[in-house]
Structure 1
C-alpha cells in the first residue's frame, strides 16, 4: 500500500483526536512544552506549530484557562481545562466511545 496515502489518513485521524487528547491531559495544569512531552509519551506526536495555535484557539473558545507562572527563571504559561472545557470533554469522550462501539459493530467486534 502507498505509504503516503496511509500517512495522510493517519494524520487526518490524529488531527481529529488532538483536541480530545489535550482536554483530557489538561485536567491538570501543563505548560506548552510539558504538554507536548506528555502527549508524545502517550503516543500523540504533535508539532509545536500545531499545538500552540490550538491552545490559543481553545482558550479563546473558553475551553481552557491559562495563567503565567513567574516563580522560575523562565516564565511559563500554564493551561488548564475550564468548566466549559470539562463539559466539552465529557461530550467528546461520550462521542468517542459511541464511535468506537459503532466501528466494533461494523466489523462484528472482531477488530483487526
Structure 2
C-alpha cells in the first residue's frame, strides 16, 4: 500500500494535468465522500505536508503585492487544479506567515474593511529560498517520475 501511495503521490506535478496524473498513477477520479464533498486528493497531499503551499504563497507574494482570493486563484491556475486552496486554509496561513514576519499585510482602504494586500519581507524571501531548496529535489523527482510513466505508457 505504501508503494502505491508513493506512486500516486509522485504523479502530482504541474507538468501534466491532474486528470492525466491520476490516469498515469492508476488512481480513480475523486469520488464524493459520505458527506457529499470531494475526498482529499492523495496525489498532492505529500507536497502539501512538505510545505508546498507556504512556498507558493511566499513566491507569489514576492512577485507582486496580492490578496487572499487572488492567491487562491493563482495557485489553482499554476497547479492546473491539482492544489485547490479554500479560504479556511489560505487565511490562517496568511495570518501565520504575517505573525512570523515573513509577509506584511496592508488594507487596501484602511478606513474600511477591504482587501488586504500582502508583500514579502526580506525574512520571507529567505524562507522562500529555503523552502525552494528543500522542495526542489522532490519536485524534480516527481517530474521525472511522471515523464517516465508517460514515456512507458506511450
- Same fold by TM-score, threshold 0.5 exceeded? yes
Greater percentage in strand: 1
Residue 51 (str. 1) matches residue 108 (str. 2): no
Change (3 A) 1:81 1:41: same
Show structure 1 runs of 5+ residues with no match. none
Residue 54 of structure 2 corresponds to which residue in structure 1? Answer: 19
Residue 60 (str. 1) matches residue 103 (str. 2): no
Residue 111 (str. 1) matches residue 148 (str. 2): yes
Flag as ranges the 4+ runs of structure 1 deviating above 4 A: 1-4
1:30-86 per-residue CA deviation (whole Å, 9 max, x = no partner) reads: 111111111111123111111000100111111111111118x86211011111000
Residue 35 (str. 1) matches residue 92 (str. 2): no
Larger RCO: Structure 1 or Structure 2 (Cα < 8 Å, ≥ 6 residues apart)?
A: 2
Structure possessing the higher radius of gyration over alpha carbons: 2
Show structure 2 runs of 5+ residues with no match. 1-25, 31-38, 150-154
- Normalising by structure 2, we get a TM-score of 0.58
Change (3 A) 1:18 1:70: same
| Aligned partner of residue 70 in structure 1, secondary structure | coil
